[in-house]
Chains A and B, each alone.
Chain A
Amino acid sequence: MPELLQLVLPDLSATQALGQRLGRLLFPGAVVALVGPLGAGKTHLTRAIAEGLGIADSRIVTSPTFVLMQEYGARLPIYHFDAYRLRGAGDFDDLGVQEYFEGGGVCLVEWADRVPECLPAEHLRISLSIAGESSRVAELEGRGRRYEELIQQLREGARRL
C-alpha cells in the first residue's frame, strides 16, 4: 500500500513551509508529480521546494507551461516540467524526460496527471485541491520505499510543528 499523508494548508505560508520542508528532504533522482486544477498552486509549491533545495534566487522559478521545461541550479539540479500544453505521452517522452528521471537531479512535473504512463513507478505524487480563497489541501502519496520514507519524515515534521 502506498504511504499517504493529507495536509490542510490554511494559507500561502503553509504551502510554502511544506514545499521548503520537502525540498530539504529530496534526494538525487527524486521525481515529484504535481497534480491539481488551474490556480491550485502547483508553481507556488514548486518554488518553495526549490527554496528547500537551496536555490539562490527563487524568483527564477516561473511557470514552464510554454517552454515545457526549465532547469535551475541548487543543492541538486532541478528539472521543472509542465505537461499542460502537451497532447500526450509521446510529446512528453520527446522532451527526453526518461533521461532526466534517471539522472541525479530532482524532477518536478506539473500537470503530471496528463502523462501518467511516462512517470516512473516510484515517485511522490502531490495532489493539490482548492479549499478556499488561499487555503489548499495537499494529498501526498509515496509510491516506492524511498518515497514512503519521505512521507514518514514529513509526517514526523508535521507532528512537531
Chain B
Amino acid sequence: MPMSTTYFLALETSCDETAAAVFTEEPRILANVVASQTELHQRFGGVVPEVAARAHLQRLLPVIDQALREAQISLTQIGCLAVHHTPGLVGALLVGVSAAKMLALALEVPLIGVNHVEGHIYACQLAADHPIFPCVGLVVSGGHTTLYECAGPLQFTRLGATLDDAAGEAFDKVASLLGLGFPGGPAVEREASQGNPRAHAFPRSFLHEARLDFSFSGLKTAVLYALAGPNQPRPAPPPPGPQRADLAASFQQAVVDILVAKCRQALQRTGWRRLAVGGGVAANRVLRTALETMAHAEKADLFIPPLHLCTDNAAMAALAVEKWRQQLWAPLDLDAVPTLS
C-alpha cells in the first residue's frame, strides 16, 4: 500500500441499521459492518429496541471497532470521516452525524456528508468494474422508491418518486395481508413462484402516463379487495394454496411491471444507456430478470449490486470519495436533515 493512501471511515444510522465501513480513496472497501447482520446485538443481551436512537448509540462504537479491526487499521490512520446525514429519522441520523463530527474534530480530518439515497445508487459503482455514470438511477427499498437522472456521481436530479407507499413497504404489507410473515419481500417472492402472475389484473398506477412517479397504495388496497371484497376490512389471511400464491404472484408482477416501465421511460427520456438499481427490493429475482430483459431491449447496461450492498450499509457512503476529490468538505456544524424535498 503506498504511503499516500487515505482511509475513510463511514457511518450509517439513518433508520434501523447501525453500520460502519472502511474504504480507501480508490474506493476499495476494506470493511463493511452492519450491526443487525452480526452477532453484535447478542453481546448486549435482552431486547434492544431496533428503532431507537438509543440502540444506535449502544451499537455504534462496537460497530466502528469491528470495522477498524476487519480493515486492520487503527482509528488514528483514518484520514476522512463520511456520514449519511439525510434522509431518515432525525434522532437516528443525529447519532451518526454527531459521532462523525466528534471523530473528525478529534482526528483533525475532513468530514463529508452523504445523501443515503444517492449512496444506494453509488453502491452499484462499488460492484461494477467500469464507470456507471451517466446513468438512470432507481432506489427501491422499504423506505424509498425514487428515480434519478445521474449525470455524474455528484449530479443527481430527481425524476420522480412514490406518492404514498414505497415498493418494499407494499411487499411487507401485502405479505401481512396474505399471512406470509416478515420480511415481506422474500416471503412474497417465494409464494409468488408457485402462483400465476396473470390470475389477477391488479392496477398499475401511472403506467401509461409520462410522469415518472409511483403509487403503490392502490395496489395494496386491490389485493385486500381481491382477498375479501370491499366490505370486510379485516379479512383472515388465506390458507396456503393456489389462491394465496396467485395473489402474491399477481401483486409482484404489478410491482415489477411498474418499476420496469418507469425505468424504461426514464432511459428513453434521458437518453442514457446505463441503469443503476439499488435498495433491498433490487434483490427480487423476478424484478432483476425483467430489468435485464428491458435493458437488453433498450441496449442499456444494467447495474445491480450484490445483496449486502443493496440493503442499508455504510460502504455505499463511498460516494464521499467523489466529494473528497473535489474537497467538498462538510462544516463541523453539519446537520441531520430528515426529509428529502
Contact = CB atoms under 8 A, between A and B. Distances in A.
A66 B339 contact: no
Interface size class of A (residues with CB under 8 A): 20 to 34
Nearest to B341: A60
Interface in B152-174: 161-166, 168-169, 172-173
Given A38-B224, A94-B53, A67 B87 contact: yes
Contacts of B265: none
Interface residues of B, number: 40
A8 interface: no
A62 B164 contact: yes
Interface stretch (B35-43, B225-233, B282-290, B320-328): B225-233
Q: Report whether over half of chain B's contact residues are helix, strand or loop; otherwise say mixed.
A: loop
Nearest to B163: A59
B54 interface: yes
Interface stretch (A13-21, A25-33, A128-136, A140-148): A128-136
Interface in A1-46: 36-40, 43-44
B176 interface: yes
B187 to A, nearest CB: 16
Contacts of A133: 225, 230
Interface in A66-99: 66-72, 85-87, 90-91, 94-96
Main secondary structure of the interface of A (DSSP, over half): loop
A44 B216 CA distance: 12
Interface of B: 15, 49, 51-54, 87-91, 141-143, 161-166, 168-169, 172-173, 176-177, 213, 217, 220-221, 224-225, 230-231, 233-234, 338-341
Nearest 9 A/B pairs, CB to CB: A94-B52, A39-B221, A66-B143, A66-B142, A37-B233, A63-B165, A130-B233, A39-B224, A132-B230
Interface of A: 36-40, 43-44, 57, 59-60, 62-63, 65-72, 85-87, 90-91, 94-96, 129-133
